[in-house]
Amino acid sequence: SWDRHAERWVAAAEPKRMVHLGDLPESLRERHAALNPLLLKPFGGFAK
Model confidence pLDDT, tens digit, residues 1-44? 777 877 777 766 665 555 555 555 677 667 766 766 666 666 55
27 in a structural domain: yes
With CA atoms as reference, report the closest residue to 35 among 19, 21, 16.
21
48 in a structural domain: no
Q: Which residue segment(s) compose the domain that 6 sits in?
A: 2-42
47 in a structural domain: no
Domain count, the chain: 1
Give the number of other CB atoms < 10 A from CB of residue 15: 9
20 in a structural domain: yes
pLDDT category at 45 given cuts 50, 70, 90 is low
Spell 19-34 as b/e; 16+ CB within 10 A means b.
eeeeeeeeeeeeeeee
Q: What is the pTM of this model?
A: 0.26
